[in-house]
Amino acid sequence: MDSAPSSMTRLLHPDVAPQPGGTPLTTPIYQTSTYELPRTAEAARIAASVAPGAFYTRYGSPNAREAEAMLADLDGAEAALLVGSGMAAISAALLSTVAGGPGGGLGGGEVLAQRSHYTASLTLLQEMLPGFGVPVRLVAQEDLAAEVRPETRVVYVETPSNPTMTLTDLRAVRAAAPDAILIADNTFATPYNTRPLELGVDLVVQSATKYLNGHSDVTAGVVTGSAALVAKAWETARVLGPVCHPFEAWLLARGLKTFPLRMARHNANGLAVAEFLAGHPAVRAVHHPGLPSHPQHDLAVRQMRGYGAMLAFTVADADAAARVMRSTRLCRNAVSLGGSESLITHPASLVFAHQGAASGVDPAMLRLSVGLEEVEDIVADLAEALSTVDR
C-alpha cells in the first residue's frame, strides 16, 4: 500500500509485537470461523484434505483436532471425528455407510439393529432410514447375532442399552456378520470400561456430552474407527454441518484430562448404589451389569473392565416411581447423564417421550446416573426417597 491504513482499518489489523515467554500448556481457543490460506498450491491441498484443522471451522479446528487425537487414543482407533452431538455422530456413522441402490438401500442389503436404543436413534432407524429407501430390521437385543442374514450389510448396536442396561455380545455379532460394517454406541460403557474396536467393531459412536466430557457443560459427539471409515463419516458431516465449535472442543479436551480419575469413581459409586437398591424392599428389580443377578453378568465380566455408573430400578408402579423422583434432593431430575452430579429421571415419560407407550419402557422404572458425590450421601438420598413408597 502507498499510504498507511486508516485508524478504522488498523482496528481490524492490530500490530501486536511478539511477547517474550514460552509455549502455552493449554491449547488456546481458536475462536475463528475461517483461516487465511497461503497464496500457493498448498491452499488447494488443504481445501481438498479430510478434516483440515485450519481451513474453515465447519471442516474442523485446531481444538477439534486436539480432542480427536485424545479420543482416538482412548478407543485405540486410527482416527476420530468430533461433531456437535451424540446424535450427529450416530447419524454421520450410519448415513455414511448406507446408500440407495437398484434393489433398495445398500444395493438390496439391510441394516440390522436391536430394538432397544436411545429414543432419537430409534427414530433414525424406524423412520428416517426407511424413508431414504434403506431397509432396517429391528430384533431383540439378545438375539442380534442369531438374526444376521446374508443380506445384512450394516449392524448397529448399543451396549449397555438405554435404559435397561442390556448387553450385546460384540464378539458374537462380529462372528455372525464377518462382512458387515458393525457400528456400536459405547456412550454408557465408555472406552474406560469397554473398547469395542478390540472386539471386532468397525465404528464406535459416543455422546461426548456424557462421561467423556463429564461436567454437564458440553454438547458433542464422536465417531472413531479406521481412517477410511472416519473419512466417509467426515464427508457426511461436512454436508450436514453438525459442527463442534472450538470452545466446546476445548472444554471437551479439558474434561478428557480427568476422564480416568472420574470413571474409576463412577464405577465404584455405581456398583455400591446398585447393591444398595438390590437389597431394598421397595425395589422390585435393579438393572446394572455389575450385579451377579444381572442375566448377562458373565458377559459383562468378559466384555467390560468395569460396569459403569448407569442403572435402572423398578418400584411398585408408576405412582411410586413419581413419588421417588419427587422426593430425591441430591439426585436431580434431568435427562442427561455422565456428569459429576447424580441424576434421576423417568424414562417412559421423559427420555422416551416421543415414542410414548410404543417404547415398551416400564412406567415403574427410574433411571439413575450415579455421580461423583460421596456414595453414602447418594444412598441416604435414595433411602429417604424410597421411604415414600408403600411397602
Count the Cβ atoms, other than its own, within 10 Å of residue 383.
Answer: 13
284, 289, 293, 297: CA torsion to nearest 10: 160
DSSP 72: H
Hunting for cell 439378545 — which residue is that? 142
Q: How far apart are CA 223 and CA 156, in angstroms?
A: 13
Q: Which one of the listed residues 30, 59, 118, 156 is annotated catalytic?
A: 118
Is 185 one of the annotated active-site residues of the chain? yes
Find, among 180, 290, 235, the residue nearest to 58 by Cα. Answer: 235
Q: Which one of the listed residues 30, 59, 156, 185 is annotated catalytic?
A: 185
On whether the CB atoms of residues 111 and 136 are closer than 8 A, the answer is yes
Is 210 one of the annotated active-site residues of the chain? yes
Amino acid letter at 333?
N
On whether the CB atoms of residues 251 and 215 are closer than 8 A, the answer is yes
Q: How far apart are CA 236 and CA 162, in angstroms?
A: 26
Whether the bond into 163 is cis, omega within 30 of 0: yes
Q: Which one of the listed residues 174, 210, 262, 367 is annotated catalytic?
A: 210
**291's grid cell:** 450385579
Q: Which one of the listed residues 35, 56, 58, 115 is annotated catalytic?
A: 58
Q: How far apart are CA 83 and CA 335, in angstroms?
A: 21
Helix (H, G, I), strand (E, B) or coil at 26: coil
CA within 13 Å, CB half, 136: 24
What are the E-state strand segments in 13-162? 79-83, 100-101, 104-105, 110-114, 136-139, 152-158
Calculate the CA 99 to chain-centre distance. 24
Helix (H) or strand (E) holding 193: helix 190-193
Q: How far apart are CA 325 and CA 385, in angstroms?
A: 7
On whether the CB atoms of residues 88 and 237 are closer than 8 A, the answer is yes
Active site residue ranges: 58, 118, 185, 210
